[in-house]
Structure 1
Amino acid sequence: MAITSSSTTAIDVPTLVSQLMAVERRPIDKLTAKIASYETKISSFGTISSLMSGFQTAAQGLNTGLQKVAATPSDGSVFAASAGSTAVPGNYALSVSQLAQSQNLVAAGQASSSSAIGDGSPTVVTFDLGAISGGTLTNGSYTGATFASNGNGTVSLTIDGSNNTLGGIRDAINAAAPGVTATIVNDGSGTPYRLALSSSSSGASNSFKITTNGGDGAIDSLLGYDPAGTQNLTQTLAAQDAKLTVNGIAITSASNTVSEAIQGVTLTLKNTTATQASLAVARDTKAINTAAASFVDAYNALASQIKSRSAYGTSTSAGGALAGDGTLRLMQDQLRGIFMTPASGGTLTSLGQVGIAIQADGTLALDSSKLDSAIAANFSDVTNLLSSSTGFATRLEAWGKSTLQAGGLIDTRTQSLGQYVKNFNQEVDSLENRMTALQKKYRIEYTNLNMLLSSMNTTSTYLTQQLASSQSSR
């Protein structure tokens, strides 16, 4: 009788468990793919949201651009001009006979800017702003003039032993901000350091008077200044108003920035005129065209993304991340509805009439010449077409705002997609816990099986040896 010995090969537990787990994990893989798909959708809506925000801003800018008016001076060296939305188009003749300026005074020179002036006794120095009138001005001093306060109140400061140097006085004045600023100049003489004072604001009513009250006569001798009395400082520049005429009307201004002379226009005077200058105020067609171009570009960028992300796949190309998405289809329908609904209340009813035309591929194109012609021919109807309650810019801006706001189409859809992702992740977490336990179970079971096979192999080998020994002893 022949007995054959056989042995069973051990199982490769890690490989077998890995293969089994790959099968078990298929539901997780499907969920992970869904999560990635939904996150891509959320990301796509984020891109569209950003582009819609830019489009909404561009629609708002188109409304704003229509209100812009340009003010162009004939001579930019004489004055500059800027126009607001209330400016009235027209031509204006300007002459400037005098520029506004601030009063400037300078004190007697000192040998040092850091040496004490006087004995340090507390002295109250008071500044009062007002107008100087009458009298004569000779070598920087008035004779027979009067001073009238402008009624805005006085400002006082104290000079004592802690600040009775030229530098200390300068700093004290600037800290108190009495409507006067102080600096120290060096004139290069034997006593070169001189305190220079200047009105903070230009205009004839911003001249100043300085009075002192205290025991230190040196401070009074340095700073005391009354245009109608003792003047211890010398005037180097008199306060004065700007004087100009607009269309022959005389105008006085305390500042060289004049905002009341022409409705909606701010003038900045630079020089007096030898000959009459002119100012042209007109609709800012360049700004309007720029706003229209930005509107067209923003729409095309948005439309391009909506089109590509909603496209269905073909045999040669993958579909967009939002293909078939109901929210995106609704947005497209709403946008299409706005463009197809004419504006009311004027002779112009469609964007194409002002050079903003829809192309065959759904994009917009701007014809600047046509827009300029429409503005020149009938600006009020152009404004109605774009900016009235039924105007395209108004409706598109409102659509963008409602779509983007909390609770709007995009927010509602992304919240819904986010909830799907959250739920799927919870399922994945639950399955991952199950996979961990199952993997452990498989590892234990097949390890135990390996041990059983090993024991069986040992027993088989032992029995084979015993049988062989028994046969040989016969």
Structure 2
Amino acid sequence: MATSAVASSSSGTLDVQSLVSQLMAVERQPIDKLNTKITSYQAKISSLGTLSGLISSFQAAAKGINTNIQAFSATPSDASVFTAAANTTAVPGTYTVSVSQLAQAQNLVAAGQTSTSTAISNGVATTVTFDFGTISGGTLTGGVYSGATFTTNGSGTKSITVDATNNTLQGIRDAINTANIGVTATIVNDGSGTPYRLSLASSSSGVSNSLKITTSGGDGTINNLLAYDPAGTQNLNQTVAAQNANLTVNGIAVTSVTNSVTDAIQGVTLSLKNITTAPTTLTVAHDTAAINTAVSGFVDAYNALAAQLKSRSAYGDASTPAGTLAGDGAIRAIQDQLRGIFNSPTSGGTMTWLAQAGVSFQVDGTLKLDSTQLNTAMTNNFSDVANLFSSSTGFATRLDSWASSTLTPGGLIDTRTTSLKTSISGYNDQINSLEVRMTTLQRLYSAQYSSLNVLLSSMDKTSAYLSKQLG
């Protein structure tokens, strides 16, 4: 290399910069090797991160089976009458449901006004108080009660204030809605000479949520507009009476203050939509479609994980590069653990292997689901299918536990990742130490060969002098 550096110099002296650069390239080879190792270890960490995500997805799929094994479907014969949803406490069976009345909220309408923005009162503060309860007895004619009584439901009264800032129809509407007191106010235009009418509706359905409205203070104008006592003065007109939902379940009468009936059938919520003209059938059963979907997701998640475990741990050959985790002990351990779980039968039922429920291994090591076989197994013996997947020795349960132990701090993935990061840190420390040495060496080489250049230059001058003298 020195000869090369000399040859590149037209004066016969050394090309110090080129020579030092070549020498430092040799000296830096240990650092280059350490950087190569660091790059390799970082690739391993990245691969472990990918596998960690796939194991997490596989775990979620296993959990999905255990969740859906407990799921029920609730299917009405006529969804226009009601819909239904079942939770895990439901009991399979067939129920006959008839709906004779839907729940509804009371609605009251005030006398018409010529404008929504014209002041109604003199602006002196008026307190408007709303009470909620049940209207009993009496008769209802043209939206007005006669001889009725009102019994509060004990939920407490709510109030708003009408003053000079909001004493218009629009202002009263907004004050009621903003107060969020369980009453919804709207303005309806009926097209008459005094078209704007304030409409008040209880936010809750059921006979126990009817309204009583009283006022205090002010000039009496607000009282004339809004006061409403079913047992007394009624300045509002009732357009819709509050009522409960009435239905029968298997011939048993059921009453509900809302159209969402949650306690008539164990674990089932009915959402009433229409009155029946004939009894409607409700079928509650295990949600086999959801289970089939969950098992399909489980198979897909396993295959995705297995494919990456295989490719990233492959040793490679002349035509295929080795995987980033080839020969890694943690990956071998993961593969061994998975094989151990799949090769250990479930106990406690007539089904002990996944293949009995349509989930079988293929020649290439992937899983395949036979949905027809799974559906048949669930139809013939659902409890054994549930045991196969979700018991304490079930495959979904054991694989869920395995994933947790693998991903948890201190598990295989974390331990291996930590080890690689520790190695990278150690290599970086070595590189830092070597870089200090490289700086020193570069200065030393530069000084030595610069001095040699001075000597060579001096010798050139001496040689030229002697040649001249001798000539």
Query: TM-score w.r.t. structure 2 length?
Result: 0.95
Read off the aligned partner of 2:353 and give its amino acid letter. Answer: S
| Corresponding position of 1:28 | 31
| Corresponding position of 1:4 | none
Q: Displacement, 1:108?
A: 0.9
SS state at 1:211 partner: strand
The reply on whether 1:13 has 2:29 as its aligned counterpart is no
The reply on whether 1:344 has 2:347 as its aligned counterpart is yes
Give the whole-Å Cα distance in 1 for the aligned partners of 2:75 and 2:105: 28
Alignment map for 1:120-199 (pairs within 5 Å): 120-199=123-202
Q: Displacement, 1:288?
A: 0.5
Give the whole-Å Cα distance in 1 for the aligned partners of 2:420 and 2:250: 66
| Corresponding position of 1:64 | 67
Give the whole-Å Cα distance in 2 for the aligned partners of 1:148 and 1:23: 99
SS state at 1:42 partner: helix
Alignment map for 1:395-474 (pairs within 5 Å): 395-468=398-471
Q: How many residues align?
A: 462
Alignment map for 1:275-286 (pairs within 5 Å): 275-286=278-289
SS state at 1:288 partner: helix
Q: Displacement, 1:314?
A: 2.3
| Corresponding position of 1:296 | 299
Indicate which of 379, 383, 392 corresponds to 1:380: 383
| Corresponding position of 1:93 | 96
| Corresponding position of 2:327 | 324
Q: Displacement, 1:90?
A: 1.5
Give the whole-Å Cα distance in 2 for the aligned partners of 1:324 and 1:170: 75
Bigger drift between 88-97 and 436-445 goes to 436-445
Q: Is the 8 A contact 1:136 1:144 kept in 2?
A: yes
Runs of 4+ in 1 over 4 A off after TM superposition: none
Give the whole-Å Cα distance in 2 for the aligned partners of 1:17 and 1:190: 103
| Corresponding position of 1:247 | 250
Give the whole-Å Cα distance in 2 for the aligned partners of 1:105 and 1:366: 60
Q: Is the 8 A contact 1:68 1:84 kept in 2?
A: yes
Indicate which of 268, 276, 282 corresponds to 2:271: 268
Q: Displacement, 1:181?
A: 1.3
SS state at 2:157 partner: strand
Give the whole-Å Cα distance in 2 for the aligned partners of 1:406 and 1:263: 42
Q: Is the 8 A contact 1:343 1:391 kept in 2?
A: yes
Give the whole-Å Cα distance in 1 for the aligned partners of 2:222 and 2:69: 60
Bigger drift between 366-375 and 309-318 goes to 309-318
Q: Is the 8 A contact 1:129 1:179 kept in 2?
A: no
Alignment map for 1:83-122 (pairs within 5 Å): 83-122=86-125
Give the whole-Å Cα distance in 2 for the aligned partners of 1:455 and 1:425: 45
Q: For 1:217-257, what per-residue CA distance to the aligned partner results, in whole angstroms no more than 9, with x for missing partners? A: 10110110011111100111111111111111111111111
The reply on whether 1:370 has 2:373 as its aligned counterpart is yes
Read off the aligned partner of 2:61 and give its amino acid letter. Answer: A
Read off the aligned partner of 2:235 and give its amino acid letter. Answer: N
Read off the aligned partner of 1:464 and give its amino acid letter. Answer: S
Give the whole-Å Cα distance in 2 for the aligned partners of 1:39 and 1:162: 69
Q: Is the 8 A contact 1:224 1:230 kept in 2?
A: yes
Give the whole-Å Cα distance in 2 for the aligned partners of 1:422 and 1:212: 78
Q: Displacement, 1:8?
A: 6.8
Give the whole-Å Cα distance in 1 for the aligned partners of 2:164 and 2:441: 90
Q: Displacement, 1:11?
A: 1.6
SS state at 1:357 partner: strand
Bigger drift between 296-305 and 450-459 goes to 450-459
Bigger drift between 69-78 and 443-452 goes to 443-452
Give the whole-Å Cα distance in 1 for the aligned partners of 2:233 and 2:67: 57
Q: For 1:265-292, what per-residue CA distance to the aligned partner results, in whole angstroms no more than 9, with x for missing partners? A: 1111111111222112111111000000
Q: Displacement, 1:467?
A: 1.6
Give the whole-Å Cα distance in 1 for the aligned partners of 2:52 and 2:420: 15
Read off the aligned partner of 1:38 and give its amino acid letter. Answer: Y
Read off the aligned partner of 1:346 and give its amino acid letter. Answer: G
Q: Is the 8 A contact 1:130 1:205 kept in 2?
A: yes
SS state at 1:447 partner: helix
Q: Displacement, 1:448?
A: 2.4
SS state at 2:441 partner: helix
Give the whole-Å Cα distance in 2 for the aligned partners of 1:84 and 1:130: 32
Unaligned runs of 5+ in 1: 1-6, 469-474
Give the whole-Å Cα distance in 1 for the aligned partners of 2:214 and 2:367: 71
Task: Tell me the percent identity.
Answer: 66
Read off the aligned partner of 1:281 and give its amino acid letter. Answer: V
Read off the aligned partner of 2:65 and give its amino acid letter. Answer: L
Give the whole-Å Cα distance in 1 for the aligned partners of 2:84 and 2:16: 87
Q: Is the 8 A contact 1:8 1:453 kept in 2?
A: no
SS state at 1:151 partner: coil
| Corresponding position of 2:311 | 308
Give the whole-Å Cα distance in 2 for the aligned partners of 1:419 and 1:320: 22
Read off the aligned partner of 1:162 and give its amino acid letter. Answer: T
RMSD between aligned residues:
1.4
Give the whole-Å Cα distance in 1 for the aligned partners of 2:207 and 2:22: 96
Read off the aligned partner of 2:293 and give its amino acid letter. Answer: T
SS state at 2:154 partner: strand
Q: Displacement, 1:207?
A: 0.7
Q: For 1:398-445, what per-residue CA distance to the aligned partner results, in whole angstroms no more than 9, with x for missing partners? A: 110111011111111101100101110111122122212222222222
